[in-house]
A and B are shown apart, each in its own frame.
Chain A
Amino acid sequence: MTLRSRREMLAMSAGLAGAVVLAACGSDKKTTVTTPSSSSTVGTASAAATTAPAAATTTAAAATTAAAASSVPPAKAGGQIGFAWTDTAIEVYRPLIAGAKEEGKARGYQILESNNGGDVAKQLADVSTWVGQGVTGVVMLPIDPAATKNAAKEAKAKGVIVVGYSDKIDGEDGSTTFNHVQGGKGLGENAAKWINDNLSGKAKIGLLVIDEMQVGRDRINSAMDVITAKTKSTVVGRVKAVSAAEALPAVQTMLQANPDMNVVLCVADDGCSGASQAYKAAGIDAKGVYIAGWDGGLSALKSIKDGGYVKAGGALDLKEVGRSVVYVVDNIKNGKEPKDKLHDYVIVDANSGKPLDDLIAAFA
């Protein structure tokens, strides 16, 4: 072995050991957390660039699994449930996964997590890994319904329960979904009332959207249907932006084109804080501005409670949603009901009182 090879071996060993230590520190004491393919936001990077990290992430995943397996007792009655969510960085994930783990503990299931960053290929790779290791069920947010349909078919062929999350999947055994249209219409009603009360029924609206996802279209379009019907408002901009960091420049630019834009609907309420900062930086007073979004993230809920630019939100009971990830699978396994759970949104504003406080408390 050459000097360089020895150095490389030493460095690789140190890296591997570091990964194991990190995994051990980061893993939950009572549930196994595996990450078959870790998050990456490279997006359209070249094939060469995306192939290279596969080995590295596989190593990290193996280290994570090994570390977690050594410290976690295996599930007793239930088995394992793979939860193929998109982006674990989003604030709402914390109460969501907490609810799933609570229910999993009560029913004897281990929850396996996936962080695919919205990349359908990674999501399907994770699901394939879980199916290969013989999980009881997989709960998938269908990033691409066509691709997810095939993955569901393969999973079912191997006796794995398939549950659609947020949207239904063709051939699924059950689902835990959200009433996006109800949430959209509910927030649309709230916005229309505010526009009529404060702007004499005429608003200039900016939309932060993600049109390639059904949930995004349902939320925004349902809200706009109501606002259009009940006010004389006009849409002055429609830009793809989900996170706060994306929303800030998007709203800055929309304000340049339309300095009198006074309503912003954010497809996910993480964007509300970016939109608020854009208005603040432009020196526009919060009193004449209405910003609202969906999900029920902590920052947005606190902003609503504190007053200011964010006036309302369509929130989900995230812990209950997380619990449903487990009990729907368990119900299907044991022939019980409900096998399809539809969650309604709670529309909250500064006057909501206890419902708003309860939603904030879920993040504690």
Chain B
Amino acid sequence: MNWPASSSNVGGTSATTSPRLRRRRSTSQAERRRRLATWVQQNGVLFALLLMGAFFVSRSDRFLTRGNINIVLLQVAVTGIIAVPAGLLILAGYVDLSVGSVMVLSSVAFGQVFKSSGSVTVAIVVAVLVGVAWGLTSGFFVSFLSFSPIVVTLGGLAAARGIAQVWSQSITVSGFGDAFGKLGTGRWFDTPIPIYVAATVLLMGFYAWNQSTAGRHLAAIGSDEVAARAMGIRTKLLPFLLYGLSGLAAAIGGLIVTSQLDGASVSIGQGEELTVLTAVLLGGVSFKGGRGSLLGVLSGLLFLGSLRNGLILLKVGTFWQQVAVGAALFFAAALDVLYQRLERVALEKASDSDDVDHVTEALGAN
């Protein structure tokens, strides 16, 4: 954890300080605030997760069992798969609100193709293609035609679910066989397979977010698209491809849930976009783009999953369960606002002390 810097270098009395010393002190305060902001952004939800986990452990002897940990990880696996490209999109200043509906559309595509062809392989290929095609179409409108991402993907949210309903006539297709069932319910070393899929996607996400050029470019686009374009970054192509990946992730998520239910039901994916968004924002990714970490997103996911799981284990009433999830979303928004305020104060202080470049550079590096 990056704890805030100590305050040892801000002593002294104002009556005797020189302007130079005051500037240095101001710079130091700005630096401390910057570090505090970074810590809050990167670790606040992790700290909250640990506190909450300790509380549930003290109240339920089932919470920390291997079986329950597997259940929590299994229940956040699909959201985790979708949250990786979703987080990258938000980092770049975009958003995909259609993921839940793309999940159900891919699921229905799988069910209907399986019903007509009898082939699981063909059905999977079609389902994945449907998801990717939907994502790329959204990406085309948003990236190349500069449509609002919220409008385009909310339109997609309604349209994809509508198509799924028309295509399936709201009838659940089921009975896909044991081989396909392993995708959602199979185990490897006593750990559910969806957890491995999610872990793989998260590892790829960590590489893309922190190590790859594309990840840095996406953060740059989210910070200042005009400046990023001037620097030669492909400000249209990268988000376009990312929407395609978002569609792919939603399709994979839809197939996993279809496998778990052994049914292509039109109720799949309802509200998934809100769950993904909550996890990403809880994890400290700024809704305005340019800032955030995938570790934070992972913490946000585990926070949500553990919260729901713990409340059920403690037999908390259904209304209070909803209040708790709503409070989590409020907590996410509050963290975002807190970070932005600390960031603004840091910049203002740095500006006073003629040290803007230093702080801006430091913030940008985040």
Contacts and interface: CB of A to CB of B under 8 A. Distances in A.
Interface of A: 4, 7-8, 11, 22, 25-26, 38-45, 48-49, 52-53, 55-57, 60, 88-91, 93-94, 209, 211-212, 236-240, 243-246, 248-250, 252-254, 256-257, 270, 273-274, 277, 280-281, 298-299, 363
Contact of A90 (B62, B65, B170): B170
Counting chain B CB atoms within 10 Å of each CB, which of A43, A90, A239 scores highest? Answer: A239
Give the 4 A-B residue pairs with the shortest CB-CB distance, closest first: A243-B267, A53-B154, A240-B318, A89-B266
29 contacts: A8-B145, A22-B163, A26-B162, A26-B166, A38-B162, A41-B100, A41-B274, A42-B97, A42-B154, A43-B271, A52-B154, A53-B157, A56-B151, A56-B154, A57-B155, A89-B161, A94-B170, A211-B319, A237-B315, A239-B312, A244-B265, A244-B267, A246-B270, A249-B71, A253-B68, A253-B312, A256-B65, A257-B62, A273-B261
A38 B62 contact: no
Contacts of A94: 169-171
Contacts of B148: 52
B347 interface: no
A238 B318 contact: yes
Given A8-B147, A40-B157, A246-B267, 11 more contacts: A39-B158, A53-B151, A56-B154, A89-B266, A209-B318, A238-B315, A238-B318, A245-B267, A249-B71, A280-B185, A363-B171
B360 interface: no
A42 B71 contact: no
A244 B265 CA distance: 8
A40 B146 CA distance: 24
B263 A244 contact: yes
Contacts of B60: 257
Contacts of B163: 22
Interface in B65-108: 65, 67-68, 71, 74-75, 97, 100
Interface in B205-225: none
Contacts of B274: 41-45
A254 B312 contact: yes
Interface of B: 60, 62, 65, 67-68, 71, 74-75, 97, 100, 141, 145-148, 150-151, 154-155, 157-159, 161-163, 165-166, 169-172, 174, 185, 257, 260-263, 265-271, 273-274, 277, 308-309, 312-313, 315, 317-319, 321-322, 326, 329
A324 to B, nearest CB: 20
Contacts of A11: 141, 145, 147
Counting chain B CB atoms within 10 Å of each CB, which of A26, A49, A253, A277 scores highest? Answer: A253
Contact of A256 (B147, B262, B313): B313
Contact of A44 (B166, B171, B326): B326
Nearest to A239: B312
A23 B117 CA distance: 27
Contacts of A93: 170
A256 B65 CA distance: 9
B48 to A, nearest CB: 20
A44 B329 contact: yes
A20 to B, nearest CB: 13
Contacts of B308: 249, 253
A243 B270 contact: yes
A186 to B, nearest CB: 24
Contacts of B162: 26, 38-39
A270 B265 contact: yes
A165 to B, nearest CB: 18
Contacts of A26: 162, 166
A121 to B, nearest CB: 15
A237 B170 CA distance: 30
Contacts of A236: 315
A52 B315 CA distance: 38
Nearest to A45: B274
A256 B151 contact: no
A25 B166 CA distance: 9
Nearest to A277: B261
Contacts of A246: 267, 270
Given A88-B170, A240-B322, A4 B154 contact: no
A45 B275 CA distance: 11
Contacts of A38: 158, 162
Counting chain B CB atoms within 10 Å of each CB, which of A7, A25, A57, A243 scores highest? Answer: A243
Contact of B321 (A45, A240, A256, A274): A240
Contacts of A274: 261
A249 B319 CA distance: 18
Contacts of B147: 8, 11
Contact of A245 (B157, B161, B270): B270
B265 A245 contact: yes
A43 B273 CA distance: 10
Given A90-B267, A281-B260, A299 B172 contact: yes
Nearest to A212: B319
A254 B318 CA distance: 13
Contacts of A41: 100, 157, 161, 270-271, 273-274
Nearest to B72: A253
A166 B186 CA distance: 41
A11 B74 CA distance: 40
Nearest to B166: A26
Nearest to A251: B312
A84 B313 CA distance: 37
B150 A49 contact: yes
A57 B263 CA distance: 29
Contacts of A209: 318
A195 B70 CA distance: 31
A93 B169 CA distance: 9
A110 B121 CA distance: 43
Contacts of A244: 172, 261, 263, 265, 267-268
A336 to B, nearest CB: 32
Given A237-B315, A270-B265, A256 B270 contact: no
Contact of B312 (A237, A243, A281): A237
Contacts of B267: 89-90, 243-246, 270
A53 B158 CA distance: 9
A94 B244 CA distance: 33
Contacts of B166: 25-26
B283 to A, nearest CB: 18
A22 B165 CA distance: 13
Nearest to B69: A256
A85 B236 CA distance: 42
